[in-house]
Amino acid sequence: MGTQLILPHRCTRYLALPLKLCGDLGQVLFHPFHLRDEESIIRSMKYSNVVINLVGRDYPTKNFSMSDVNVEGCRTLARLAKQCNVERFIHMSSLNVENPTPMILPGGSEVLKTKWQGECAVKEEFPEATIIRPSVVYGQEDHFMTYYLSAIRRTWRNIPLWKKGKETEKQPVHVSDVAAGIAAIATNPRTAGKTYQFVGPRRYTLETLIRWFYDIACHGYEDVGYDVSELKTNLLFRLQVAANGAVHHVFPLSRLTWDILERDHTSDKVIPSLPTLEDLGIVPINMESQIPWEVRPYKFYDFYTEELGEIIQPKPPQTVPLR
């Protein structure tokens, strides 16, 4: 018996790379599947005792809506896992899915709504399923640091944030802690039926995090000119988001949509009654020890090699009280 990891289709393009696998031949098997092809899903999980569902979508495409993936797709996976007598089903959801307060969009984030509906669907089909609600996950090639440091997320030298990011609070969690948490849940049968919150040990405003990223990326030079601006009054950025949203379902050029912006500016809500990584015996890594290394590949003006001690490293951002 083994563990079946359900991954998005786009991950299959990496399988041709000469990677060293964690298991020997016969222990790691790859099975193509399609959310609307139940036979392919059954072939993927019928010999597994644990299924970890990482399938999710934060924008619609011409073939799948967010509800198709986050709700009906997850329901199908949970139902078929129960049908295949899988012992454990672990479902990756998202933090803030319970009653988020609308900010940019009057109706709130469709991503968070469908993630919540997906949790309910999984519980209906597989009551003993374990739900994981991570905060924003950072690490190499993530959708957080690399997203905010990319040219698509800024206009000229301004990074537009809702209310300049002063009212958005985040507790980012490192990808290694998320992986360790999933492994701990998979190997501990007492976690069945519970909902876990995966958050980092410290809480920051979005503004301080973005300024910190750019201070590091600019080699500590404060006069380079990158600054946080008000999203509501940045007309160029709003036109850019609207233009991308108009063609996004056909040609997803970037992750710049109003729904993703709504979700990204939702403050992390940690429910005291739900367990966290610490309850699994995992001490989360703090960002101050990781971000200088993680941001290094995205530094601007990297053609210049500074001398030892020439550049003063930016100070870590101020934290806000945990809630």
The residue type of 307 is E
Task: With respect to residue 236, please indicate whether it lies within any of the assigned structural domains.
Answer: no
**For the chain, percent of residues with pLDDT exceeding 70:** 88
Q: Which residue range is the domain that position 17 belongs to? A: 2-139+173-202+269-280
Task: With respect to residue 19, please indicate whether it lies within any of the assigned structural domains.
Answer: yes
Q: What is the mean pLDDT of the chain?
A: 87
**What is the model's pLDDT at position 297?**
84
Q: For residue 24, what is the domain's CATH number?
A: 3.40.50.720
pLDDT per residue as tens digits for the range 20-51: 656 666 667 788 899 999 999 999 998 899 99
Task: With respect to residue 18, please indicate whether it lies within any of the assigned structural domains.
Answer: yes
Number of domains the chain contains:
1
Task: With respect to residue 123, please indicate whether it lies within any of the assigned structural domains.
Answer: yes
Cβ(171)–Cβ(249) below 8 Å: no
Confidence of residue 18 (pLDDT cuts 50, 70, 90): low
Q: Tell me the Ramachandran region of residue 149: left when phi exceeds 0, alpha when psi lies from -120 to 50, beta otherwise.
A: alpha
pLDDT per residue as tens digits for the range 51-70: 999 999 888 888 899 999 99
pLDDT per residue as tens digits for the range 213-231: 998 888 766 556 788 999 9
- Name beta bridge partners: 2: 48
- Measured distance between the N- and C-terminal CA atoms of the chain, rounded to whole angstroms: 41
pLDDT per residue as tens digits for the range 241-291: 988 877 777 676 778 889 999 999 999 999 999 999 999 999 999 999 999
Q: Using CA atoms, how far apart are residues 202 and 216, in angstroms rounded to an integer?
A: 19
Task: With respect to residue 34, please indicate whether it lies within any of the assigned structural domains.
Answer: yes
Confidence of residue 6 (pLDDT cuts 50, 70, 90): low
Backbone angles phi, psi at 210, to 5 degrees: -65, -40
Enter the pTM of the model. 0.88
Confidence of residue 5 (pLDDT cuts 50, 70, 90): low
Task: With respect to residue 85, please indicate whether it lies within any of the assigned structural domains.
Answer: yes
pLDDT per residue as tens digits for the range 79-125: 999 999 999 999 999 999 988 888 899 989 999 999 999 999 999 99
SS3 95: coil
Task: With respect to residue 180, please indicate whether it lies within any of the assigned structural domains.
Answer: yes
Task: With respect to residue 313, please indicate whether it lies within any of the assigned structural domains.
Answer: no
